[in-house]
Structure 1
Amino acid sequence: MIEVKDLKKSFGDTQILKGITTTFNKGKTNLVIGQSGSGKTVFLKCLLGLFEYESGSISYEGKNFSKLSRTEKTNLRSEMGMVFQGSALFDSMTIAENVMFPLRMFTKQSKSEMEDRVDEVLKRVNLADAHKKMPSEASGGMQKRVAIARAIVNRPKYLFCDEPNSGLDPKTAIVIDNLIQEITDEFDITTVVNTHDMNSVMEIGEKIVFLKNGLLEWEGSSETIFRTENEAVTNFVYSSELFRKVRKMYLEESS
Protein backbone atom coordinates (compact mmCIF):
# COMPACT_ATOMS: atom_id res chain seq x y z
CA MET A 1 0.00 0.00 0.00
CA ILE A 2 1.08 3.55 -0.76
CA GLU A 3 -0.39 6.34 1.37
CA VAL A 4 -0.11 9.96 0.24
CA LYS A 5 -1.00 12.75 2.66
CA ASP A 6 -1.27 16.46 1.81
CA LEU A 7 1.53 16.25 -0.76
CA LYS A 8 2.82 19.60 -2.04
CA LYS A 9 5.50 20.27 -4.63
CA SER A 10 6.65 23.53 -6.20
CA PHE A 11 9.22 24.64 -8.74
CA GLY A 12 10.31 28.12 -7.78
CA ASP A 13 7.21 30.20 -7.19
CA THR A 14 4.96 27.81 -9.12
CA GLN A 15 3.11 25.25 -7.02
CA ILE A 16 2.45 22.08 -9.04
CA LEU A 17 0.96 19.78 -6.38
CA LYS A 18 -1.31 21.60 -3.96
CA GLY A 19 -2.03 19.09 -1.23
CA ILE A 20 -2.89 15.63 -2.59
CA THR A 21 -4.16 12.94 -0.24
CA THR A 22 -4.98 9.44 -1.49
CA THR A 23 -4.21 5.74 -1.05
CA PHE A 24 -3.07 3.14 -3.59
CA ASN A 25 -3.91 -0.39 -2.49
CA LYS A 26 -1.87 -3.54 -2.93
CA GLY A 27 -2.93 -5.88 -5.72
CA LYS A 28 -4.87 -3.15 -7.52
CA THR A 29 -4.36 -1.18 -10.72
CA ASN A 30 -4.52 2.46 -9.66
CA LEU A 31 -4.85 4.95 -12.52
CA VAL A 32 -3.94 8.63 -12.37
CA ILE A 33 -5.65 10.72 -15.03
CA GLY A 34 -5.91 14.40 -15.89
CA GLN A 35 -5.22 16.92 -18.60
CA SER A 36 -1.72 18.03 -19.54
CA GLY A 37 -0.44 20.30 -16.79
CA SER A 38 -2.61 18.70 -14.11
CA GLY A 39 0.47 17.53 -12.18
CA LYS A 40 0.28 13.80 -12.76
CA THR A 41 3.86 13.40 -14.08
CA VAL A 42 5.29 15.39 -11.17
CA PHE A 43 3.12 13.31 -8.84
CA LEU A 44 4.48 10.07 -10.26
CA LYS A 45 8.08 11.27 -9.94
CA CYS A 46 7.43 12.17 -6.30
CA LEU A 47 6.11 8.63 -5.72
CA LEU A 48 9.28 7.25 -7.30
CA GLY A 49 11.50 9.42 -5.12
CA LEU A 50 12.87 11.30 -8.13
CA PHE A 51 11.53 14.63 -6.88
CA GLU A 52 11.76 15.93 -3.35
CA TYR A 53 8.55 17.53 -2.06
CA GLU A 54 8.39 20.39 0.40
CA SER A 55 5.55 19.13 2.59
CA GLY A 56 3.22 16.21 3.12
CA SER A 57 4.23 12.56 3.17
CA ILE A 58 4.42 9.41 1.07
CA SER A 59 4.44 6.12 2.99
CA TYR A 60 5.14 2.64 1.66
CA GLU A 61 3.66 -0.07 3.87
CA GLY A 62 3.62 2.49 6.70
CA LYS A 63 7.21 3.68 6.18
CA ASN A 64 7.50 7.42 5.56
CA PHE A 65 9.88 7.82 2.61
CA SER A 66 11.30 11.18 3.70
CA LYS A 67 12.30 9.74 7.08
CA LEU A 68 14.21 6.76 5.69
CA SER A 69 17.99 6.61 5.73
CA ARG A 70 19.90 6.68 2.45
CA THR A 71 20.36 2.89 2.60
CA GLU A 72 16.67 2.35 3.35
CA LYS A 73 15.69 4.56 0.42
CA THR A 74 17.99 2.59 -1.88
CA ASN A 75 16.46 -0.67 -0.66
CA LEU A 76 12.96 0.70 -1.24
CA ARG A 77 13.82 1.84 -4.77
CA SER A 78 15.02 -1.70 -5.50
CA GLU A 79 11.43 -2.80 -4.80
CA MET A 80 10.06 -0.44 -7.47
CA GLY A 81 9.59 -1.27 -11.13
CA MET A 82 9.12 1.45 -13.73
CA VAL A 83 7.72 1.37 -17.26
CA PHE A 84 8.68 4.63 -18.98
CA GLN A 85 6.55 6.37 -21.59
CA GLY A 86 8.98 5.71 -24.43
CA SER A 87 10.01 2.28 -23.03
CA ALA A 88 13.54 3.72 -22.48
CA LEU A 89 15.38 0.61 -23.63
CA PHE A 90 19.14 0.73 -24.10
CA ASP A 91 19.75 0.69 -27.85
CA SER A 92 23.19 -0.92 -27.52
CA MET A 93 21.89 -3.85 -25.45
CA THR A 94 19.97 -6.91 -26.54
CA ILE A 95 16.49 -7.44 -25.17
CA ALA A 96 17.83 -9.98 -22.67
CA GLU A 97 20.54 -7.57 -21.53
CA ASN A 98 17.96 -4.80 -21.10
CA VAL A 99 15.80 -7.02 -18.91
CA MET A 100 18.82 -8.16 -16.89
CA PHE A 101 19.94 -4.60 -16.16
CA PRO A 102 18.04 -4.16 -12.83
CA LEU A 103 19.38 -7.51 -11.60
CA ARG A 104 22.93 -6.34 -12.24
CA MET A 105 22.21 -3.08 -10.40
CA PHE A 106 20.34 -4.32 -7.35
CA THR A 107 21.25 -7.98 -6.77
CA LYS A 108 24.29 -10.18 -6.28
CA GLN A 109 22.89 -13.09 -8.24
CA SER A 110 25.13 -15.29 -10.33
CA LYS A 111 25.01 -14.96 -14.10
CA SER A 112 23.08 -18.22 -14.44
CA GLU A 113 20.54 -17.10 -11.83
CA MET A 114 20.03 -13.81 -13.67
CA GLU A 115 19.68 -15.61 -17.01
CA ASP A 116 17.06 -17.95 -15.54
CA ARG A 117 15.06 -15.00 -14.19
CA VAL A 118 15.28 -13.19 -17.54
CA ASP A 119 14.01 -16.34 -19.27
CA GLU A 120 11.12 -16.49 -16.81
CA VAL A 121 9.91 -12.92 -17.27
CA LEU A 122 10.34 -12.88 -21.04
CA LYS A 123 8.16 -15.98 -21.23
CA ARG A 124 5.63 -14.23 -19.01
CA VAL A 125 5.29 -11.35 -21.49
CA ASN A 126 5.20 -13.76 -24.46
CA LEU A 127 8.69 -12.94 -25.75
CA ALA A 128 10.36 -16.30 -25.13
CA ASP A 129 12.39 -16.17 -28.35
CA ALA A 130 13.37 -12.51 -28.31
CA HIS A 131 16.51 -12.66 -26.16
CA LYS A 132 19.05 -11.82 -28.86
CA LYS A 133 17.01 -9.18 -30.68
CA MET A 134 18.00 -5.54 -30.44
CA PRO A 135 15.34 -2.96 -29.46
CA SER A 136 15.47 -1.53 -33.00
CA GLU A 137 14.28 -4.91 -34.29
CA ALA A 138 11.21 -4.90 -32.03
CA SER A 139 7.83 -3.32 -32.71
CA GLY A 140 6.41 -0.69 -30.38
CA GLY A 141 4.24 -3.28 -28.67
CA MET A 142 7.19 -5.63 -28.21
CA GLN A 143 9.28 -2.83 -26.74
CA LYS A 144 6.54 -2.11 -24.20
CA ARG A 145 6.47 -5.80 -23.22
CA VAL A 146 10.25 -5.76 -22.82
CA ALA A 147 9.90 -2.67 -20.62
CA ILE A 148 7.32 -4.48 -18.48
CA ALA A 149 9.58 -7.55 -18.24
CA ARG A 150 12.46 -5.33 -17.09
CA ALA A 151 10.17 -3.60 -14.57
CA ILE A 152 9.13 -6.88 -12.92
CA VAL A 153 12.39 -8.84 -13.21
CA ASN A 154 13.44 -7.87 -9.68
CA ARG A 155 10.08 -8.94 -8.21
CA PRO A 156 8.99 -5.42 -7.23
CA LYS A 157 6.33 -4.62 -4.66
CA TYR A 158 5.42 -1.47 -6.57
CA LEU A 159 4.96 -1.02 -10.33
CA PHE A 160 4.78 2.45 -11.90
CA CYS A 161 3.81 3.02 -15.52
CA ASP A 162 3.96 6.37 -17.31
CA GLU A 163 1.61 6.45 -20.32
CA PRO A 164 2.29 2.77 -21.17
CA ASN A 165 0.00 2.90 -24.23
CA SER A 166 1.55 6.00 -25.75
CA GLY A 167 2.15 5.53 -29.48
CA LEU A 168 0.43 2.15 -29.67
CA ASP A 169 -2.47 1.16 -31.89
CA PRO A 170 -5.75 0.37 -30.04
CA LYS A 171 -5.39 -3.42 -30.34
CA THR A 172 -1.84 -3.45 -28.96
CA ALA A 173 -2.84 -1.00 -26.23
CA ILE A 174 -5.44 -3.49 -25.00
CA VAL A 175 -2.78 -6.22 -24.90
CA ILE A 176 -0.56 -4.00 -22.75
CA ASP A 177 -3.47 -3.06 -20.45
CA ASN A 178 -4.36 -6.71 -19.95
CA LEU A 179 -0.74 -7.62 -19.27
CA ILE A 180 -0.41 -4.90 -16.60
CA GLN A 181 -3.65 -6.07 -14.98
CA GLU A 182 -2.62 -9.74 -15.03
CA ILE A 183 0.83 -9.05 -13.55
CA THR A 184 -0.70 -6.88 -10.82
CA ASP A 185 -3.08 -9.69 -9.87
CA GLU A 186 -0.54 -12.52 -10.14
CA PHE A 187 2.21 -10.92 -8.09
CA ASP A 188 -0.01 -8.84 -5.77
CA ILE A 189 1.78 -5.63 -6.76
CA THR A 190 0.71 -2.08 -5.97
CA THR A 191 0.45 -0.64 -9.48
CA VAL A 192 0.14 3.05 -10.34
CA VAL A 193 -0.44 4.04 -13.98
CA ASN A 194 -0.36 7.55 -15.40
CA THR A 195 -2.58 7.63 -18.47
CA HIS A 196 -4.75 9.76 -20.70
CA ASP A 197 -6.19 6.67 -22.43
CA MET A 198 -9.86 6.36 -21.52
CA ASN A 199 -9.94 2.79 -22.79
CA SER A 200 -7.41 1.95 -20.06
CA VAL A 201 -9.63 3.67 -17.50
CA MET A 202 -12.60 1.55 -18.54
CA GLU A 203 -10.66 -1.72 -18.84
CA ILE A 204 -8.36 -1.78 -15.81
CA GLY A 205 -9.29 1.19 -13.61
CA GLU A 206 -9.86 -0.48 -10.26
CA LYS A 207 -9.12 2.88 -8.66
CA ILE A 208 -8.99 6.16 -10.57
CA VAL A 209 -7.50 9.40 -9.29
CA PHE A 210 -8.37 12.50 -11.32
CA LEU A 211 -6.03 15.46 -10.92
CA LYS A 212 -6.85 19.01 -11.96
CA ASN A 213 -4.51 21.97 -11.51
CA GLY A 214 -2.45 20.09 -8.91
CA LEU A 215 -5.44 19.05 -6.82
CA LEU A 216 -7.21 15.73 -6.39
CA GLU A 217 -10.51 16.63 -8.00
CA TRP A 218 -12.16 13.18 -7.81
CA GLU A 219 -11.41 9.52 -7.10
CA GLY A 220 -13.40 6.36 -7.65
CA SER A 221 -13.54 3.30 -9.94
CA SER A 222 -14.28 2.65 -13.62
CA GLU A 223 -17.88 1.94 -12.58
CA THR A 224 -18.45 4.99 -10.39
CA ILE A 225 -16.89 7.32 -12.97
CA PHE A 226 -19.96 6.73 -15.12
CA ARG A 227 -22.22 8.00 -12.36
CA THR A 228 -20.26 11.02 -11.16
CA GLU A 229 -21.78 14.46 -11.47
CA ASN A 230 -18.39 16.16 -11.12
CA GLU A 231 -18.31 18.53 -14.07
CA ALA A 232 -14.52 18.56 -14.42
CA VAL A 233 -14.46 14.76 -14.62
CA THR A 234 -17.33 14.48 -17.08
CA ASN A 235 -15.80 17.17 -19.32
CA PHE A 236 -12.52 15.23 -19.37
CA VAL A 237 -13.88 11.71 -19.67
CA TYR A 238 -16.73 12.38 -22.07
CA SER A 239 -14.99 14.76 -24.41
CA SER A 240 -15.54 12.19 -27.16
CA GLU A 241 -18.96 11.26 -28.50
CA LEU A 242 -18.17 7.56 -28.04
CA PHE A 243 -17.80 7.83 -24.26
CA ARG A 244 -20.88 10.04 -24.01
CA LYS A 245 -22.84 7.24 -25.67
CA VAL A 246 -21.27 4.62 -23.38
CA ARG A 247 -22.21 6.65 -20.30
CA LYS A 248 -25.77 7.10 -21.53
CA MET A 249 -26.13 3.34 -22.13
CA TYR A 250 -24.65 2.55 -18.71
CA LEU A 251 -27.00 4.89 -16.90
CA GLU A 252 -30.02 3.55 -18.81
CA GLU A 253 -29.09 -0.05 -17.91
CA SER A 254 -28.55 0.90 -14.24
CA SER A 255 -31.88 2.71 -13.87
Structure 2
Amino acid sequence: MIEVNNIEKSFGEQKVLKGITTKFDAGQTSLVIGQSGSGKTVFLKSLLGIHEVDSGTISFDGRIYGHLNKDEKRDLRTEIGMVFQGSALFDSMTVEENIGFPLKMFTNKTPKEIKERVDFVIERVNLINAHHKKPSEISGGMQKRVAIARAIVNNPKYLFCDEPNSGLDPKTAIVIDNLIQEITKEYNITTVINTHDMNSVMEIGEKIVFLKNGLLEWEGSNKEIFKTDNAAVTDFVYSSELFKRVRKMYLEDDK
Protein backbone atom coordinates (compact mmCIF):
# COMPACT_ATOMS: atom_id res chain seq x y z
CA MET A 1 0.00 0.00 0.00
CA ILE A 2 1.11 3.53 -0.77
CA GLU A 3 -0.38 6.28 1.38
CA VAL A 4 -0.19 9.92 0.32
CA ASN A 5 -0.94 12.49 3.00
CA ASN A 6 -1.47 16.16 2.12
CA ILE A 7 1.53 16.50 -0.21
CA GLU A 8 2.45 19.81 -1.77
CA LYS A 9 5.06 20.63 -4.38
CA SER A 10 6.07 23.95 -5.90
CA PHE A 11 8.59 25.05 -8.48
CA GLY A 12 9.49 28.63 -7.69
CA GLU A 13 6.26 30.58 -7.38
CA GLN A 14 4.20 27.91 -9.12
CA LYS A 15 2.44 25.48 -6.80
CA VAL A 16 1.89 22.26 -8.77
CA LEU A 17 0.54 19.88 -6.11
CA LYS A 18 -1.86 21.39 -3.60
CA GLY A 19 -2.45 19.13 -0.63
CA ILE A 20 -3.18 15.75 -2.24
CA THR A 21 -4.28 12.93 0.05
CA THR A 22 -5.09 9.43 -1.22
CA LYS A 23 -3.96 5.82 -1.00
CA PHE A 24 -3.23 3.00 -3.42
CA ASP A 25 -3.90 -0.59 -2.33
CA ALA A 26 -1.91 -3.70 -3.17
CA GLY A 27 -3.43 -5.98 -5.81
CA GLN A 28 -5.32 -3.09 -7.39
CA THR A 29 -4.75 -1.16 -10.61
CA SER A 30 -4.93 2.55 -9.78
CA LEU A 31 -5.04 5.16 -12.55
CA VAL A 32 -4.08 8.82 -12.29
CA ILE A 33 -5.79 10.96 -14.93
CA GLY A 34 -6.14 14.64 -15.70
CA GLN A 35 -5.56 17.25 -18.37
CA SER A 36 -2.11 18.50 -19.33
CA GLY A 37 -0.91 20.76 -16.52
CA SER A 38 -3.06 19.01 -13.90
CA GLY A 39 -0.01 17.89 -11.95
CA LYS A 40 -0.20 14.15 -12.65
CA THR A 41 3.38 13.85 -13.97
CA VAL A 42 4.80 15.72 -10.97
CA PHE A 43 2.61 13.57 -8.74
CA LEU A 44 4.02 10.36 -10.22
CA LYS A 45 7.59 11.64 -9.97
CA SER A 46 6.96 12.59 -6.35
CA LEU A 47 5.78 9.05 -5.61
CA LEU A 48 8.96 7.75 -7.24
CA GLY A 49 11.14 10.07 -5.16
CA ILE A 50 12.39 11.95 -8.22
CA HIS A 51 10.82 15.10 -6.79
CA GLU A 52 11.09 15.81 -3.08
CA VAL A 53 7.76 17.13 -1.81
CA ASP A 54 7.68 20.44 0.08
CA SER A 55 5.27 19.17 2.72
CA GLY A 56 3.17 16.13 3.51
CA THR A 57 4.24 12.49 3.46
CA ILE A 58 4.38 9.51 1.13
CA SER A 59 4.63 6.12 2.82
CA PHE A 60 5.24 2.66 1.41
CA ASP A 61 3.65 0.04 3.68
CA GLY A 62 4.23 2.30 6.66
CA ARG A 63 7.70 3.52 5.65
CA ILE A 64 7.61 7.30 5.22
CA TYR A 65 9.91 8.08 2.32
CA GLY A 66 11.07 11.43 3.67
CA HIS A 67 12.15 9.80 6.94
CA LEU A 68 14.35 7.12 5.35
CA ASN A 69 18.12 7.39 5.26
CA LYS A 70 20.15 6.97 2.07
CA ASP A 71 20.55 3.19 2.43
CA GLU A 72 16.87 2.69 3.27
CA LYS A 73 15.84 4.72 0.22
CA ARG A 74 18.13 2.61 -1.96
CA ASP A 75 16.60 -0.57 -0.54
CA LEU A 76 13.09 0.76 -1.21
CA ARG A 77 13.98 1.55 -4.81
CA THR A 78 14.84 -2.12 -5.36
CA GLU A 79 11.18 -2.87 -4.55
CA ILE A 80 9.93 -0.54 -7.30
CA GLY A 81 9.36 -1.41 -10.96
CA MET A 82 8.84 1.25 -13.63
CA VAL A 83 7.36 1.09 -17.12
CA PHE A 84 8.40 4.26 -18.93
CA GLN A 85 6.53 6.05 -21.68
CA GLY A 86 8.02 4.83 -24.95
CA SER A 87 9.36 1.70 -23.17
CA ALA A 88 12.91 3.19 -22.82
CA LEU A 89 14.67 0.00 -23.90
CA PHE A 90 18.39 -0.17 -24.67
CA ASP A 91 18.64 -0.37 -28.46
CA SER A 92 21.98 -2.17 -28.37
CA MET A 93 20.74 -4.93 -26.06
CA THR A 94 18.66 -7.97 -26.87
CA VAL A 95 15.30 -8.61 -25.24
CA GLU A 96 16.80 -10.89 -22.60
CA GLU A 97 19.66 -8.45 -21.94
CA ASN A 98 17.19 -5.58 -21.45
CA ILE A 99 15.11 -7.62 -19.04
CA GLY A 100 18.11 -8.93 -17.12
CA PHE A 101 19.72 -5.50 -16.75
CA PRO A 102 18.13 -4.65 -13.34
CA LEU A 103 19.20 -8.01 -11.94
CA LYS A 104 22.81 -7.44 -13.00
CA MET A 105 22.79 -3.90 -11.64
CA PHE A 106 20.94 -4.30 -8.35
CA THR A 107 21.27 -7.93 -7.22
CA ASN A 108 23.98 -10.48 -6.50
CA LYS A 109 22.33 -13.21 -8.54
CA THR A 110 24.55 -15.57 -10.51
CA PRO A 111 24.36 -15.63 -14.32
CA LYS A 112 22.43 -18.89 -14.07
CA GLU A 113 19.91 -17.38 -11.63
CA ILE A 114 19.53 -14.31 -13.83
CA LYS A 115 18.85 -16.43 -16.89
CA GLU A 116 16.26 -18.52 -15.04
CA ARG A 117 14.44 -15.43 -13.81
CA VAL A 118 14.59 -13.73 -17.22
CA ASP A 119 13.26 -16.86 -18.92
CA PHE A 120 10.41 -16.97 -16.40
CA VAL A 121 9.22 -13.39 -16.95
CA ILE A 122 9.65 -13.68 -20.73
CA GLU A 123 7.25 -16.61 -20.65
CA ARG A 124 4.93 -14.78 -18.24
CA VAL A 125 4.47 -11.84 -20.62
CA ASN A 126 4.24 -14.15 -23.65
CA LEU A 127 7.47 -13.19 -25.40
CA ILE A 128 8.51 -16.70 -26.37
CA ASN A 129 11.30 -16.91 -28.99
CA ALA A 130 12.14 -13.22 -28.64
CA HIS A 131 15.17 -13.65 -26.36
CA HIS A 132 17.83 -12.67 -28.88
CA LYS A 133 15.98 -10.00 -30.83
CA LYS A 134 16.77 -6.30 -30.56
CA PRO A 135 14.02 -3.75 -29.80
CA SER A 136 14.11 -2.56 -33.42
CA GLU A 137 13.22 -6.09 -34.55
CA ILE A 138 9.98 -6.37 -32.59
CA SER A 139 6.64 -4.53 -32.66
CA GLY A 140 5.60 -1.69 -30.38
CA GLY A 141 3.32 -4.01 -28.43
CA MET A 142 6.16 -6.49 -27.91
CA GLN A 143 8.42 -3.65 -26.78
CA LYS A 144 5.85 -2.79 -24.10
CA ARG A 145 5.86 -6.41 -23.00
CA VAL A 146 9.63 -6.27 -22.69
CA ALA A 147 9.32 -3.09 -20.62
CA ILE A 148 6.78 -4.78 -18.33
CA ALA A 149 8.97 -7.88 -18.01
CA ARG A 150 11.94 -5.70 -17.08
CA ALA A 151 9.81 -3.85 -14.52
CA ILE A 152 8.72 -7.05 -12.76
CA VAL A 153 11.91 -9.09 -13.10
CA ASN A 154 13.04 -8.08 -9.60
CA ASN A 155 9.72 -9.02 -7.94
CA PRO A 156 8.66 -5.45 -7.12
CA LYS A 157 6.11 -4.58 -4.47
CA TYR A 158 5.27 -1.37 -6.31
CA LEU A 159 4.80 -0.84 -10.04
CA PHE A 160 4.58 2.57 -11.72
CA CYS A 161 3.58 2.97 -15.35
CA ASP A 162 3.82 6.25 -17.28
CA GLU A 163 1.46 6.24 -20.27
CA PRO A 164 2.04 2.52 -20.96
CA ASN A 165 -0.27 2.58 -24.00
CA SER A 166 1.37 5.54 -25.71
CA GLY A 167 1.79 4.86 -29.43
CA LEU A 168 -0.17 1.61 -29.43
CA ASP A 169 -3.26 0.77 -31.47
CA PRO A 170 -6.46 0.29 -29.40
CA LYS A 171 -6.45 -3.51 -29.62
CA THR A 172 -2.83 -3.82 -28.47
CA ALA A 173 -3.43 -1.23 -25.75
CA ILE A 174 -6.20 -3.42 -24.27
CA VAL A 175 -3.85 -6.41 -24.28
CA ILE A 176 -1.21 -4.41 -22.40
CA ASP A 177 -3.80 -3.11 -19.93
CA ASN A 178 -4.99 -6.63 -19.21
CA LEU A 179 -1.43 -7.88 -18.79
CA ILE A 180 -0.66 -5.15 -16.25
CA GLN A 181 -3.84 -5.93 -14.32
CA GLU A 182 -3.16 -9.68 -14.36
CA ILE A 183 0.36 -9.19 -13.03
CA THR A 184 -0.87 -6.76 -10.39
CA LYS A 185 -3.31 -9.30 -9.00
CA GLU A 186 -1.09 -12.34 -9.48
CA TYR A 187 1.79 -10.85 -7.47
CA ASN A 188 -0.28 -8.52 -5.23
CA ILE A 189 1.58 -5.45 -6.50
CA THR A 190 0.61 -1.87 -5.70
CA THR A 191 0.27 -0.49 -9.23
CA VAL A 192 -0.10 3.19 -10.15
CA ILE A 193 -0.62 4.12 -13.80
CA ASN A 194 -0.35 7.64 -15.17
CA THR A 195 -2.54 7.75 -18.28
CA HIS A 196 -4.69 9.82 -20.62
CA ASP A 197 -6.21 6.70 -22.22
CA MET A 198 -9.90 6.58 -21.37
CA ASN A 199 -10.12 3.02 -22.65
CA SER A 200 -7.77 2.10 -19.81
CA VAL A 201 -10.18 3.76 -17.40
CA MET A 202 -12.97 1.50 -18.67
CA GLU A 203 -10.86 -1.65 -18.80
CA ILE A 204 -8.78 -1.66 -15.61
CA GLY A 205 -9.64 1.42 -13.56
CA GLU A 206 -10.28 -0.22 -10.19
CA LYS A 207 -9.31 3.09 -8.59
CA ILE A 208 -9.15 6.38 -10.46
CA VAL A 209 -7.60 9.57 -9.13
CA PHE A 210 -8.58 12.64 -11.13
CA LEU A 211 -6.32 15.68 -10.73
CA LYS A 212 -7.17 19.20 -11.79
CA ASN A 213 -4.94 22.24 -11.28
CA GLY A 214 -2.87 20.36 -8.70
CA LEU A 215 -5.87 19.29 -6.62
CA LEU A 216 -7.44 15.88 -6.17
CA GLU A 217 -10.76 16.75 -7.76
CA TRP A 218 -12.34 13.28 -7.61
CA GLU A 219 -11.55 9.62 -6.90
CA GLY A 220 -13.50 6.41 -7.32
CA SER A 221 -13.79 3.30 -9.50
CA ASN A 222 -14.37 2.94 -13.24
CA LYS A 223 -18.02 2.15 -12.50
CA GLU A 224 -18.45 5.17 -10.24
CA ILE A 225 -16.89 7.56 -12.74
CA PHE A 226 -19.74 6.91 -15.16
CA LYS A 227 -22.25 7.98 -12.54
CA THR A 228 -20.59 11.06 -11.07
CA ASP A 229 -22.09 14.49 -11.47
CA ASN A 230 -18.76 16.22 -10.82
CA ALA A 231 -18.62 18.77 -13.63
CA ALA A 232 -14.82 18.73 -13.95
CA VAL A 233 -14.82 14.94 -14.36
CA THR A 234 -17.66 14.86 -16.85
CA ASP A 235 -16.11 17.63 -18.93
CA PHE A 236 -12.85 15.68 -19.10
CA VAL A 237 -14.09 12.12 -19.47
CA TYR A 238 -17.26 12.40 -21.52
CA SER A 239 -15.90 14.43 -24.38
CA SER A 240 -16.10 11.38 -26.65
CA GLU A 241 -19.27 9.84 -28.02
CA LEU A 242 -18.08 6.43 -26.77
CA PHE A 243 -18.08 7.58 -23.18
CA LYS A 244 -21.43 9.28 -23.56
CA ARG A 245 -22.91 5.98 -24.73
CA VAL A 246 -21.24 3.99 -21.97
CA ARG A 247 -22.41 6.41 -19.29
CA LYS A 248 -25.96 6.24 -20.61
CA MET A 249 -25.79 2.45 -20.42
CA TYR A 250 -24.57 2.53 -16.80
CA LEU A 251 -27.25 4.97 -15.74
CA GLU A 252 -30.01 2.98 -17.44
CA ASP A 253 -28.85 -0.20 -15.66
CA ASP A 254 -29.41 1.54 -12.32
CA LYS A 255 -33.03 2.34 -13.07
**TM-score w.r.t. structure 1 length?**
0.99
1:17 and 1:105 mapped to 2: Cα distance?
A: 33
Paired residue for 1:188?
188
Q: Name the SS for the 2:21 alignment partner.
A: strand
Paired residue for 2:223?
223
- Residue 104 of structure 1, CA deviation: 1.0
User: Is 1:115 aligned to residue 115 of structure 2?
Assistant: yes
Paired residue for 1:8?
8
Paired residue for 1:89?
89
Q: Name the SS for the 1:82 alignment partner.
A: strand
Q: How does 1:143-222 map to 2 (within 5 A)?
A: 143-222=143-222
Where structure 1 has 5 or more consecutive residues not aligned to the other structure, the ranges are none
2:187 counterpart letter in structure 1: F
1:38-69 Cα shifts (integer Å, max 9, x gaps): 11111001111111111110000011000001
- Residue 29 of structure 1, CA deviation: 0.3
2:249 and 2:128 mapped to 1: Cα distance?
A: 42
Paired residue for 1:55?
55
RMSD between aligned residues: 0.6
Q: Name segments (4+ residues, structure 1) moved above 4 Å.
A: none
Q: Name the SS for the 1:47 alignment partner.
A: helix
- Residue 245 of structure 1, CA deviation: 1.3
- Residue 92 of structure 1, CA deviation: 0.9
1:103-147 Cα shifts (integer Å, max 9, x gaps): 011100000000100000000010021110001111110000000
Paired residue for 2:74?
74
- Residue 12 of structure 1, CA deviation: 1.2
Q: Name the SS for the 2:173 alignment partner.
A: helix
User: Is 1:233 aligned to residue 240 of structure 2?
Assistant: no
Paired residue for 2:242?
242
2:111 and 2:10 mapped to 1: Cα distance?
A: 43
1:11 and 1:104 mapped to 2: Cα distance?
A: 36
2:246 and 2:84 mapped to 1: Cα distance?
A: 30
- Residue 253 of structure 1, CA deviation: 1.4
1:184-225 Cα shifts (integer Å, max 9, x gaps): 010000000001111100110110000000000000000111
1:206 and 1:249 mapped to 2: Cα distance?
A: 19
1:11 and 1:100 mapped to 2: Cα distance?
A: 36
User: Is 1:19 aligned to residue 19 of structure 2?
Assistant: yes
2:249 counterpart letter in structure 1: M
2:242 and 2:131 mapped to 1: Cα distance?
A: 40
Where structure 2 has 5 or more consecutive residues not aligned to the other structure, the ranges are none
How many positions carry a matched residue from both structures? 255
% of aligned pairs identical? 72
1:53 and 1:253 mapped to 2: Cα distance?
A: 43
2:32 and 2:244 mapped to 1: Cα distance?
A: 21
